[in-house]
Structure 1
Amino acid sequence: MLKLENVEKYYGDFNLNCSMELRPGCITGLIGPNGAGKTTVFKSVLGLITVDGGRITVFGKEPDSLTSQDREDIGVVLADSGFSGYLSIEDIIPVMESLYKKFDKQEFRKKCKEFDLPFQKKIKDFSTGMKAKLKVIAAMSHGARLLILDEPTSGLDVIARDEILDYIRSYMENGERSVLISSHISGDLETLCDDLYLIDGGNLVLHEETDALLGNYCLLKVTEKQYEELDKRYIIKRRKETFGYSCLSDRKQFYLENSPGLVIEKGSIDEVITMMIRGEKI
């Protein structure tokens, strides 16, 4: 569906070097701190910026070879873009009809009503959450096979986020669509994504199936003495703490079976991100 092979982009002292693949029927999360390169990846995929090296293919084609129909099969939400503030939802409907042959006006209206969006009000007078809802509904209103969603739940409260995530899940039910999504809210991705890529400083530092990350990764909380005696074969990163060390491993079962006296905690996505970025290699 989407593939990046050694894609490079240079901005002054920032260098992107990225290889990743989005499989048909899967939701893939791209996570990382601010400035890590997530938006650069999205804009590279969409052809909004030129890359300095590597290869990108969408539906098996390079971006500049995509037909108008191919482009209609891509739905997009970017954090720094949206509709003109002087339009209303009623103004947007004919625009969407002219842009997308498969635009579903009835479904679009239905979702806008479900998400309590006013049809006559100018978008510039929408709240941040209302604007976020509208962008997601529009991206999913024309039957796109590929969704590129950069922080789609930004500015939404807990209830609205759950509604959007449920909408994305229902959108995937036909099994022929794929989603690439980023979010600063790790809980969203834990329950939504099939696999996750972690990017830091323009480089991918981790790719893992979400179930494996949540099931196999762990944090070992050890004293200095325990650390000295610890079997370190499966320690990925460590971090000095007041009590000794926190150690990240992807072999939780190994340490449960072989080190019964250790404090072993399940690793959340946030904890894995923190350890992968701030931790040190042994």
Structure 2
Amino acid sequence: MLVKLEHVTKAYGDFKLDCSLSLKEGHITGLVGQNGAGKSTTFKAILGLLTPDSGSAWVFGKDSRKLTDEDRVKIGTVLSDSGFGGHLNIREAASIMDASYESFNKEGFLYQCREHNLPANKKIKEFSTGMKAKLKVLLAVSHEAALLILDEPTAGLDVVAREEILDMLRGYMEQEGRGILISSHISSDLEGLCDDIYMIQGGKIVLHEDTDVILSNYGLLKLEDRQYDTLDKDHILCVKKEGFGYSALTNERQYYQENYPSLIVERCGIDQVETMLIGGKRK
């Protein structure tokens, strides 16, 4: 197990995190939730950047606060406030990485920068948003890390730039023993990349499910009042009152399609599931 959190709690004023999750070797796990839901606090707990009030955070089988320098070089990160100063260029950044990480492949990194059209001698502050995002990911994967912690690595990018970054991550995972924990507000990125998804709301995990199960089994029922009243609700996860009646989230879409052929039953993606779990009333 690369990462394991067991009821990690951390209180900040009115907010309290109480999170349990795990990341297996060979897996890409997504963490989704609204701004302020607890994603960044969870990442900081994993990286040992905060002291939990209670619970345990394990990375590579060790307490995350007791990781050695040798352990930390096996972690690659992309955080919103991370990265090199804008006054540097890529060659200068590569020299710093070379001095900091014994496993850093300087020539390989510079080659990948050329392949992704990142100019080696241009100041980083002059890069576009997409160029800066690609550079952050290339730096994270450049020193043979076994674990990537990525907080919104594709935020603000166009579809072409996003796909380039996703391809980098797929290439990174071709080597055994690695894993990625990634957050994103772009559900289509996660649906095509992640093995499983955790949803966090108000500091608590409200859903953990394999991505394939969400896409194949979950559904959204559109119900008039009379339809809702007579519905078998055993497989309903949550409901939301609407102007036309009710929306209902199920993890057994086929059951309702087969047994209630007159109902409107729509396929669900991550966005729809998250919206219902946040705005609906759980059964």
TM-score exceeds 0.5: yes
**Structure 2 residues not aligned, in runs of 5+:** none
Residue-by-residue CA offset, 1:179-220 (whole Å, 9 max, x unaligned)? 000001000000000000000110100000000011110001
Q: Which residue of 2 aligns with 1:155?
A: 156
TM-score (norm: length of structure 2): 0.97
**Structure 1 residues not aligned, in runs of 5+:** none
Measure, in 1, the Cα distance between the counterparts of 2:220 and 2:156.
31
Amino acid at match of 2:135: L
Q: Which residue of 1 aligns with 2:64?
A: 63
Are the aligned partners of 1:132 and 1:155 in contact in 2 as well (CA < 8 Å)? no
Residue-by-residue CA offset, 1:147-193 (whole Å, 9 max, x unaligned)? 00001111221101101101101110122100000001000000000
TM-score (norm: length of structure 1): 0.98
Are the aligned partners of 1:28 and 1:181 in contact in 2 as well (CA < 8 Å)? yes
Measure, in 1, the Cα distance between the counterparts of 2:29 and 2:282.
27
Q: Which residue of 1 aligns with 2:45?
A: 44
Are the aligned partners of 1:256 and 1:264 in contact in 2 as well (CA < 8 Å)? yes
Bigger CA drift: 78-87 or 196-205?
Answer: 78-87
Q: Which residue of 2 aligns with 1:206?
A: 207
Cα displacement (A) at 1:251: 0.7
SS of aligned partner of 1:192: coil
Cα displacement (A) at 1:65: 2.5
Residue-by-residue CA offset, 1:203-240 (whole Å, 9 max, x unaligned)? 10000000001111000111111011100111111111
Are the aligned partners of 2:31 and 2:200 in contact in 1 as well (CA < 8 Å)? yes
Q: Which residue of 2 aligns with 1:93?
A: 94
Measure, in 1, the Cα distance between the counterparts of 2:82 and 2:98.
20
Measure, in 2, the Cα distance between the counterparts of 1:104 and 1:215.
41
SS of aligned partner of 1:15: strand
Measure, in 2, the Cα distance between the counterparts of 1:39 and 1:66.
19
Are the aligned partners of 2:27 and 2:180 in contact in 1 as well (CA < 8 Å)? yes
Bigger CA drift: 103-112 or 10-19?
Answer: 103-112
Which stretches of structure 1, 4 residues or longer, exceed 3 Å deviation after superposition? none
Amino acid at match of 2:63: E
Bigger CA drift: 46-55 or 15-24?
Answer: 46-55
Are the aligned partners of 1:27 and 1:181 in contact in 2 as well (CA < 8 Å)? yes
Are the aligned partners of 1:129 and 1:154 in contact in 2 as well (CA < 8 Å)? no
Q: Which residue of 2 aligns with 1:216?
A: 217
Cα displacement (A) at 1:64: 2.9
Cα displacement (A) at 1:6: 0.5
Cα displacement (A) at 1:98: 1.2
Are the aligned partners of 2:3 and 2:24 in contact in 1 as well (CA < 8 Å)? yes
Identity %: 57
Measure, in 1, the Cα distance between the counterparts of 2:82 and 2:44.
11
Q: Which residue of 2 aligns with 1:184?
A: 185
Residue-by-residue CA offset, 1:56-81 (whole Å, 9 max, x unaligned)? 11000012322222111100000122
Amino acid at match of 1:45: I
RMSD: 1.0
Measure, in 2, the Cα distance between the counterparts of 1:205 and 1:17.
11
Are the aligned partners of 1:8 and 1:16 in contact in 2 as well (CA < 8 Å)? yes
Q: Which residue of 1 aligns with 2:238?
A: 237
The count of aligned residue pairs is 282
Measure, in 1, the Cα distance between the counterparts of 2:125 and 2:6.
39
Measure, in 2, the Cα distance between the counterparts of 1:114 and 1:244.
53
Are the aligned partners of 2:47 and 2:65 in contact in 1 as well (CA < 8 Å)? no
Are the aligned partners of 2:33 and 2:274 in contact in 1 as well (CA < 8 Å)? yes
Give matches, 1:1-282, under 5 Å: 1-282=2-283
